[in-house]
Amino acid sequence: MSSKKSDKRGRPRSFDPDKILDKALILFRQNGYLGTSYSDLYAATGLTKPSLYAAFGNKEDTFLAALDRYIATSIRPGEDILANEKDPREAVQKLLVAIVQGLTAKGTPPGCMIAANAACADAADVPDAIRTALSSAGKITPNAIRARLKSARTEQLPPYLNADQLADYFDMVVAGLSALAKQGAPASQLLSAVETAMSFWVSSTNT
């Protein structure tokens, strides 16, 4: 988004909305929706309360905008990895490595924003729109892995597992990586876990 875009009152913005959302994203990723107040948001972003509201709306709206930003920058690129790699095993491994890099990126809280917030999504004071958005966001990567594996030729998959079984397995692997990262595991440990998780699958030579 351009910093020259006008706010709701028609005045030019003097800030980059994406950079503001990145700051809000850090709070929501670290403290969760329930653990983040609106005053936390405008303090962290450096905006006044009216400016933050004019740009993104209330706390719920700001969370949804930050979630969209997270999906665009941290989730959608994984779909491109799966789509662009010809060999399904290499596609999944590259995706897992990219996930590790995102979970442990410098300057951001460890772990996954979606997972961190999904844990409290059923709380009574979490709006339905956020609950629905988190549920949809949490399905993006598992659905992309499942679709990629289903598109693979039979000889490219382990002979003792089908695409659905593999997809379920890698869904658990991703969840485990996210949990370990949240607990403070370094990237080296997570990358080692990826190697172990992939060790059962011998790459096909028929690519």
Contacts of 53 (CB under 8 A, 6+ apart): none
**pLDDT given at position 206:** 44
Assess contact for 130 and 63: CB atoms under 8 A.
Answer: yes
Higher-pLDDT residue of 3 and 134 is 134
Q: How far is CA 65 from CA 72, 93, 199, in A?
A: 11, 30, 38
Tell me the backbone φ, ψ of residue 198, rounded to 5 degrees.
-90, -10
pLDDT category at 23 given cuts 50, 70, 90 is: very high
Q: Does the pLDDT of residue 82 top 70, yes or no? A: yes
**pLDDT given at position 204:** 65
Nearest to 174 by CA among 81, 84, 98, 91: 98
Q: What is the pLDDT of residues 112-131, one digit of tens each?
A: 999 999 888 889 889 999 99
Q: What is the pLDDT of residues 130-151, one digit of tens each?
A: 999 999 999 999 999 999 999 9
pTM of the model: 0.87
Percent of the chain with pLDDT over 90: 84
Any idea where the domains of the chain sit in the sequence?
17-198
Q: What's domain 17-198's architecture? A: Orthogonal Bundle (1.10)
